[in-house]
Amino acid sequence: MTDRGKVIRCRDFRWRGVPVRVYKDDPHLYRNVAQQVLLGGVGQPDLNFETRYFEIQPGGRTTLERHGHPHAVVVIQGEGTVVLGSATEGIQAHDCVYVPGGLAHQFRADRGTVLGFLCVVDRERDAPRPVEADPR
């Protein structure tokens, strides 16, 4: 644990010193998604949550999946669509999305822009389970 805070500088939706990670292992389930773990990752064991940034390129999508833990999402760039169970909603910068545990969900950059969002989840969480559906 550290007694010092820190600032992670951002330029053009990339945070300095934070690696851009591969989103998942199976690229058949998603398309054109990158992520950065901003807070709660390695070196910050005193946080019991992770704040992650996801960026989906136009035409891309996250995996349609469900898991037991909830998500708190804040869109900070672009427009797209979120699937929440059987509902589909348009989303844009500054919209907030709550995804309760157990609900199938997916984020899509289907409106011609990059879709970027912050996602806060529990640090210790269950693995996602893909849901069968038309990925569009």
**Which region among 4-13, 19-28, 63-72 has the lowest average model confidence (pLDDT)?**
19-28
Catalytic residues: 119
- Entry pTM: 0.90
State the CB neighbour count (10 A cutoff) for residue 123.
13
Residue 74 scores a pLDDT above 70: yes
Domains of the chain, earliest start first: 18-124 (2.60.120.10)
- Banded pLDDT at 51 (limits 50, 70, 90): very high
Q: How many residues does the chain have?
A: 136
Look up residue 55 and give its amino acid.
Answer: E
pLDDT band, residue 107 (cuts 50/70/90)? very high
pLDDT value at 5 more than 90: no
Q: How far is it, in rounded angstroms, from Cα 69 to Cα 2? A: 28
Which pLDDT belongs to residue 119? 98
